Amino acid sequence: MKLSDMFPRKYASGADFNGKPATLTIATVRTEKMRPQAGAPEVQKFVIYFENATKGVILCKTLSYEIADAIGCDEDEDVSNWTGKRVTLYPVPMTVAGKRRIAIRARKPAAGNGTAPPPATLSDNEEDL
């Protein structure tokens, strides 16, 4: 058994996509309190949730602008207008602070893209830590 199975993450990471894109429908965007590191003070972060997926994705500025561009929203438009829009999320390997990571990026869904379920790792039910 892997440690990631023993202690699943509350939020999705790029590894959850198993190297494949997923086209999802936006359910909501909300703020949540979280600690970036153990012992650090709580901060407010924006988290996007999708229909049929239990794990949210923590938004960074780059991903937020990519989603807005992919769904055709202006940067001055209220994010509540994102609800019901479809976007394709995909993993991108990169190096951050000398460590290999898999980032989540967004693009416009391909024409005719169906409504496949999200990757299983985005739908896992896990206990809040």
Q: 82-112 pLDDT, tens per residue?
A: 999 999 999 999 998 899 999 999 999 987 6
Residues 7, 102: Cα–Cα separation, whole Å? 19
- Over range 17-29, report the average pLDDT: 95
Looking at residue 36, what is its pLDDT? 83
Residue 9 sits at φ, ψ, to 5 deg, of: -75, 150
How many C-beta atoms surround the C-beta of residue 68 within 10 A? 20
The single-letter code of the amino acid at 118 is P
Q: How far is CA 62 from CA 103, 106, 107, in A?
A: 10, 9, 12
With a CB cutoff of 8 Å and minimum separation 6, the contacts of 49 are 26, 27, 28, 29, 30, 56
pTM (2 d.p.): 0.82
